[in-house]
Amino acid sequence: MKGIPPHARGMRIGLYGGSFNPPHAAHVMVSRRALRRLRLDRVWWLVTPGNPLKDNGKLPPLAARMAQARALLADPRILPTDVEARLGTRFTADTVAALQRLCPGVHFVWIMGGDGLADLHRWRNWRGLAGRVPIAVIDRPGTTHRAVRMPAALRLARSRIDEADAPTLALRHPPAWTLLHGPRSRLSSSALRRTEQRA
């Protein structure tokens, strides 16, 4: 399908979904950590046409957020994509299923911050998602302690692997997930939007 970045059988590719409104340095930090710790070949940013759980009334157009992502990213291994708009999918379980169909032999990993894990039980078919792709959760200030006590983490407790084994995550049979610690960032798009409004 047109719009799917170049890839090859056997590659390990992180799928990092987000509103990216706007993209910021912590998004880059998360991507780099995932590349290094999960031994990934690429991270594809899936810039969403609109998070199904958010009010997207004030969300800038996808093309504008894609342009901001392109301007921020300098590492050729990290690629911004509008694949969800091209596929016509909004829910992550559908997006991942479609990409796995279109890219046979690629080892995908879903990447998200601690707030994503805290909310995961509210996502459409989240059990199906966890059953089809390994998941890497990146520690995020103010979210992770709560996240590990929330329904999705509790349900998936037996599938959690030690972060020392993160290099094998992409090759594991799901469900499998890990929590990656490291230097943390308090940056958020909402804080950046507030600063912009005040300026």
Ligand X SMILES: O=C(O)c1ccc[n+]([C@@H]2O[C@H](COP(=O)([O-])O)[C@@H](O)[C@H]2O)c1
Residues 16/91, Cβ–Cβ less than 8 Å? no
80 lines the binding site for ligand ATP (CB under 6 A): no
| Helices within the chain (DSSP H only) | 25-37, 62-72, 83-87, 92-102, 114-119, 126-132, 144-147, 151-155, 189-198
Closest by alpha carbon to 103, among 15, 34, 178?
15
Q: Does 69 bind ligand ATP (CB under 6 A)?
A: no
Q: How far is the CB of 105 from ligand ATP (least distance, A)?
A: 26
Burial status of residue 59 (CB atoms within 10 A of its CB: 0-12, 13-18, 19 or more): middle
Nearer to ligand ATP, 105 or 146 (CB): 146
SS3 13: strand
| Residue 85 touching ligand ATP (CB under 6 A) | no
- Residue 155 tokens, joined: 């349900």
Contact window for ligand ATP (CB under 6 A) among 24-32, 81-89, 162-170, 171-179:
24-32
Please give the Cα distance from 25 to 15 (Å, whole number): 17
Q: Give the phi and the psi of residue 59 in degrees, each rounded to 5.
A: -75, 125
- The interface with ligand ATP within residues 101-130 (CB under 6 A) comprises 112-113, 115-116
How many residues form the binding site for ligand ATP (CB under 6 A)? 18
Contact 41, 171 (CB under 8 A): no
Q: Does 100 bind ligand ATP (CB under 6 A)?
A: no
Among ligand ATP, ligand X, none, the one that 172 touches (CB under a kind-dependent 5 to 8 A) is none
Shortest gap between Cβ of 188 and ligand X (angstroms)? 10
Decide which of ligand X, ligand ATP, none touches 46; Cβ closer than 5 to 8 Å per partner kind: ligand X
Between residues 158 and 186, which has the closer beta carbon with respect to ligand ATP?
A: 186
The residue with its CB nearest to ligand ATP is 113
Is residue 49 a contact residue for ligand ATP (CB under 6 A)?
no
Which residues of the shown chain bind ligand ATP in the complex (CB under 6 A)?
Answer: 18-21, 26-27, 30, 112-113, 115-116, 138, 140, 185, 187-190
